[in-house]
Structure 1
Amino acid sequence: MPFNINLLPHHHAKAVREYGKQYYVDAKGDRFPSVTTILNATKPQEDRDALFNWRNRVGVEEANRISGAASRRGTSTHKHIQRYLLGEDISCPDAAKPYWESLQSVLQDINEVRLVEGSVFHYDLTYAGRVDCVASYKGVPCVLDWKTADKPKGSAERLHDAPIQLAAYCGAVNQFYQEYGIQLNHAGVVVAVPGMQAEVFWFDPDKMMVYWQQWQKRIAEFWQRRGASKNDAN
């Protein structure tokens, strides 16, 4: 195995869906909205408009086909990365091979794997999520998020809310595993693209602080909207 595996205790929380929103249930039975649910509910209007216009432009059927294919390839690639990082020696599914080959330049710089597909909770800010990977990349402890794409993103702006999502995961990992001395302030989005080396968008502590502040605003907006909805219902 080319890297060390030093896993933190793994928590696989139950995921439940309600009215299109995803929640994670902890060991006590308490339920918390997922990071993606909060981000989707507070998505900027220009992002909503862009998605709506894209679906109209390509047609609903084609949009569903593209989204479905992207979801399947992403799931297949994630599962193979997960098995690899846990030390399992298995062959790569054909659907994931182009993306797996793209990731090789990144995987060789990974060491000290601490968490793979683990559920985390932030009890102070009341949210939860499932983290792709906590490990050291080029010697720096961080949270990593794996993504697949048919063509390069080119810039962090085209990642949309992914950096904010990573800041949320960093905060939750730091609180959830604080008794183990975990304190992460670096993160990376790794985009696997067929026929080329994966793109790595790396975020240092200064950038992560900016995204963390944005995340806190999105949480506040989410609960404010929830409160308004309840008041309207009453």
Structure 2
Amino acid sequence: MQSLSGICKKLGTSSRFFLQLTPSVGFSTSCYFFIQKKKKNPYQEVDQDKYSNLIRSIVSTRISSQTPESLFQEDDLLYGPVSKYKAQEQESRPKVTQNTVLLLNPEKRNGSDTLPDSSIPLKIPLQKNKMPSVTRILQQTMTAKQILILERWKQRMILELGEDGFAKYTSDIFLQGKHFHEALEAILSSQDQLKELDEKTISSGYVASVQHVLKDISGVRALESAVHHDTLKYLGLLDCVAEYRGKLCVIDWKTSEKPKPFIRNTYDNPLQVVAYVGAINHDANYNFEVQCGLIVVAYKDGSPAHTHFMDSDLCSQYWSKWLLRLEKYTEKEKNQTTLNPD
């Protein structure tokens, strides 16, 4: 019988037994490390898809290519969009004019609505006056966005045409508009004035563009006539007052190289029209009242002009906006007078 120590020696030297014991030892050891790895790792909770682009952009170059725009985009990605609730709430509050002057004039509405001689349109000359013009008021109260758009357009045109070319371009545009208004005045007033114009002016693309509009115009009351508001103290030179499809309107003729199918495309033109409407209704030189407006945009290539009719309700809406611009101008002038009393 072998001794116990001999048996142990044989078992100790047996490779089979050693291989069988090894997993047991290894298992206990691996279990220990497995337990250690199960410890919660905060990085495993990161949304890898969400941050992959951000991480790639950071490690892809040594030189930072970040801009203010990219920083805002990263902030938006990390923290979500900025809440604009308060800003929107403040901007949504409409400004209310402090002026209570109405667009219409009750005194004229109850008075006569006929001219002494309806066949002769009024043409009151524009006289020198300390009152600001409608054009000046609108120019001095443009928004920052309007100024930026205008400046960008100017710089782009100068880049394409040069300083001298841009000056010639603006001069040509002014002359074309002047000839267009002269042709319309002649067409709407008398045949004698029409004969004095050259054929080139009469047959221009702008005149051809408004032919379908002229068919709907009748009862011309005023042409290229000065108007001023007795109460609000401003003046202007309107293009035309006539009936358009039976509605008495202040008509403003505009020229454009680009289509303007919607009234919003005409920018401040509706404010100009209602300013003239309100002035006529409060000008003693005119014994009639106007409630509507019409903007006609003519095109150089002769394509049909776009018409934007403004009924009494729409005119009332734009009248409130005009009063705000007028108040803004008045306040601006007061501030400048205070800073420069001389």
Which amino acid is the alignment partner of residue 222 of structure 1? Y
Residues 185 and 208 of structure 1 are in contact (CA less than 8 Å); yes or no, is this contact kept in structure 2?
Answer: yes
Report the number of matched residues. Answer: 216
Runs (5+) with no aligned partner, structure 2: 1-116
8 Å Cα contact 2:256-2:298 kept in structure 1: yes
State the match for 2:264 in structure 1.
157
Alignment of 1:197 onto 2:197 = no
Matches within 5 A, 1:140-179: 140-177=247-284
Aligned to 1:138: 245
Task: State, as a whole percentage, how many aligned pairs show the same letter.
Answer: 29
Give CA-to-partner distance per residue, 1:93-152, whole Å, 9 cap, x none. 525611111111011111000000000110100000011000001111000001112231
- Indicate the residue corresponding to 1:38 in structure 2: 137
Considering fraction of residues, name the structure with more strand.
Answer: 1
Distance in 1, Cα, partners of 2:122 & 2:237: 14
- Letter of the structure 2 residue corresponding to residue 35 of structure 1: V
Match in the other structure for 2:290: 184
In structure 2, distance between residues paired with 1:63 and 1:48: 18
Matched, 1:13 2:116: no
Q: Contact 2:292–2:312 at 8 Å: present in 1 too?
A: yes
Distance (Å, rounded) in 1 between the aligned partners of 2:295 and 2:143: 21
Task: Tell me, yes or no, if the aligned pair for 1:5 and 1:86 is still in contact at 8 Å.
Answer: no
Cα RMSD (Å): 1.9
- The CA distance in 1 between the partners of 2:286 and 2:198, in whole Å, is 36
For residue 180 of structure 2, the aligned residue among 77, 81, 95 is: 77
Which residue pairs with 2:48 in the alignment? Answer: none
- Matched-pair contact (CA < 8 Å) for 1:143–1:186: yes
- In structure 2, the CA distance between the partners of 1:76 and 1:157, relative to structure 1 (3 Å rule), is same
Provide the TM-score with structure 1 as the length reference: 0.86
Distance 1:63 1:179 in 2: 40
- The match for 1:49 is 148
CA contact (8 A) 1:76 1:93 kept: no
Q: How far is 1:92 from its partner? A: 4.7
TM-score, reference length from structure 2: 0.60
> Does the CA-based 8 Å contact 2:217-2:243 persist in structure 1?
yes
| Distance (whole Å) between structure 1 residues aligned to residue 208 and residue 146 of structure 2 | 31
Q: CA offset at residue 205 of structure 1?
A: 1.1
Structure 1 position 9, deviation (Å): 4.5
Structure that is richer in helix per residue: 2
8 Å contact 1:189–1:200 — kept in the other structure? Answer: yes
SS of residue matched to 1:33: coil
2:192 counterpart of 1:86: no
Check the 8 A contact 2:222/2:242 in 1, yes or no. Answer: yes
Distance 1:49 1:147 in 2: 22
| Structure 1 unaligned blocks of 5 or more | 15-23, 26-30
Partner SS for 1:115: strand
- TM-aligned CA deviation for residue 50 of structure 1: 0.5
* Aligned with 2:234 (options 112, 122, 127): 127
Partners of 2:208 and 2:284 lie apart in 1 by 32
Cα distance in 1 for partners of 2:219, 2:334 equals 42
AA paired with 1:11?
A: I
Quote the Cα distance in structure 1 between the aligned partners of 2:144 and 2:124.
Answer: 35
